[in-house]
């Protein structure tokens, strides 16, 4: 969808902001550009919509070389979101969102429902917010309007330059979540500049790591960037705690789970005791006759007396879904001071997650890592 072939920018004073850069972004993909300050990531973004003219190379969007077209017309076909939002202060929220469709000559009968739909998409009630002015909104609300405006003309490409950097951490987290929902729904092709590696890991399908001069050091999915940095520069940039960051991008997989004994609610206590007797840990998962998870039971809860497991079963404080992130699983283990956590797929019990299983999963997902 977006291809940069040998694209570079050298300023009149001889400063090389971006070296000859080759980069390809697939349709519907969100690619994050990261790197230290002054490494050329924002310059690269602005060359795509020609706010900065490249000194060399070609930029191709959807098969068309955009270095040969009218830059003003080009920008009307590309959504652009910046850190400080850039809303027109003298226009209402609705008028801000309507800006590009009106510039493109859309009739009012088409513009008005589009504005309403875009505000609803970003979680702002049109009846409440369309007639307000930007100064009447919070920073997070302004940023939502900025996203709505960028999407209003339904551009195939969206450029985002530190879009959530100016809001507080709580609002930023919410905006990231909301934008990912929007991206899944609209399937836009997105170039996303951020200085925050955690934000890149959370949001991107692939991450492009730049060094000074716009040199591309690594271009890969978040798990590979964190688990197998291409060189020392990338390793230093993503940080010594990259193993912890990988928890957010590594899913809980069935192969990483442990499988303690399973007993049924109707089993007598003696049978349950026998099932646990040879297990590495003195507990069992309890299911009902239909295979639904009902809780757990420890050997200490059993006696040789009469009765069934149903009388002594303990409920789990929490469970996680197969495919949830390891970060969520580990968080639940720590929060509930638990040694293990049941993993479900829908209503079906799959296995249990332990701290050792989290560690094993991280080892498994390091590219090129051989098991000991």
267 shares a domain with 209: no
Structural domain includes residue 370? no
Give the Cα separation of 338 and 321 in Å (integer): 17
The pLDDT value given to residue 240: 65
The pLDDT value given to residue 52: 93
DSSP 8-50: EEE-TTS-EEEEEEEEEE-TT-EEEEE-STTSSHHHHHHHHTT
238 shares a domain with 130: yes
Q: Who's near 237: CB < 8 A, 6+ residues apart?
A: 34, 35, 36, 197, 209
The pLDDT value given to residue 370: 45
The position carrying tokens 């209003």 is 152
Give me 361's structure tokens: 């999963």
Give me 291's structure tokens: 């295979």
Q: What angle do CA 336, 338, 340 make, to 5 degrees?
A: 130
Name the domain boundary from 248, 265, 281: 248
Which portions of the chain are predicted below pLDDT 50?
370-372
Give the Cα separation of 85 and 294 in Å (integer): 50
The pLDDT value given to residue 271: 86
The pLDDT value given to residue 260: 92
55 shares a domain with 197: yes
265 shares a domain with 233: no
The pLDDT value given to residue 96: 94
CB 220 within 8 A of CB 204: no
What domain count does the chain have?
Answer: 2
177 shares a domain with 118: yes
Query: Alpha helix locations (H) across the chain?
Result: 41-48, 71-75, 93-97, 99-103, 108-121, 126-129, 139-151, 169-186, 197-203, 222-227, 232-238, 242-245, 269-277, 326-335, 355-364
Name the domain boundary from 223, 248, 273: 248
φ and ψ at residue 164, rounded to 5 degrees: -115, 15
DSSP 124-178: --HHHHTTS-GGGS-HHHHHHHHHHHHHTT--SEEEEESTTTTS-HHHHHHHHHH
Reduce the DSSP state of residue 271 to 3 states and report it.
helix
Structural domain includes residue 105? yes
Residue 76's domain is classified under what CATH number?
A: 3.40.50.300
Structural domain includes residue 277? yes
Q: What angle do CA 147, 96, 126 make, to 5 degrees?
A: 75
């Amino acid at each position: 969808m977006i291809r940069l072939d040998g694209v570079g920018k050298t300023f009149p004073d001889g400063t090389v902001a971006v070296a000859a850069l080759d980069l390809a972004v697939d349709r519907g993909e969100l690619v994050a550009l990261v790197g230290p300050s002054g490494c050329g990531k924002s310059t690269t973004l602005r060359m795509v919509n020609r706010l900065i003219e490249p000194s060399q190379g070609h930029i191709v969007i959807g098969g068309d070389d955009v270095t040969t077209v009218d830059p003003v017309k080009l920008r009307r076909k590309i959504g652009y979101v910046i850190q400080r939002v850039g809303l027109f202060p003298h226009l209402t929220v609705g008028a801000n969102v309507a800006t590009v469709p009106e510039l493109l000559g859309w009739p009012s009968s088409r513009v008005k429902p589009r504005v309403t739909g875009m505000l609803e998409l970003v979680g702002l009630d049109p009846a409440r917010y369309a007639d307000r002015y930007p100064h009447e909104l919070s920073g997070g609300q302004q940023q939502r309007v900025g996203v709505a405006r960028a999407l209003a003309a339904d551009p195939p490409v969206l450029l985002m330059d530190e879009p959530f950097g100016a809001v507080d951490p709580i609002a930023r987290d919410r905006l990231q979540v909301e934008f990912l929902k929007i991206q899944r729904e609209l399937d836009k092709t997105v170039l996303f500049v951020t200085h925050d590696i955690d934000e890149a890991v959370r949001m991107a399908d692939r991450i492009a790591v730049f060094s000074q001069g716009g040199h591309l050091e690594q271009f890969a999915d978040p798990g590979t960037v964190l688990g197998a940095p291409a060189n020392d520069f990338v390793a230093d940039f993503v940080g010594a705690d990259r193993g912890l960051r990988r928890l957010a991008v590594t899913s809980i997989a069935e192969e990483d789970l442990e499988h303690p004994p399973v007993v049924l609610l109707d089993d007598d206590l003696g049978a349950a005791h026998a099932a646990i007797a040879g297990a590495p840990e003195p507990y069992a998962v309890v299911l009902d006759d239909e295979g639904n998870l009902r809780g757990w039971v420890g050997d200490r809860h059993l006696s040789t007396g009469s009765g069934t497991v149903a009388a002594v079963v303990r409920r789990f404080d929490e469970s996680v879904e197969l495919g949830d992130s390891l970060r969520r699983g580990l968080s639940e283990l720590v929060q509930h001071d638990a040694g293990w956590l049941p993993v479900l797929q829908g209503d079906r019990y799959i296995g249990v997650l332990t701290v050792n299983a989290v560690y094993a999963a991280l080892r498994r997902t390091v590219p090129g890592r051989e098991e000991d």
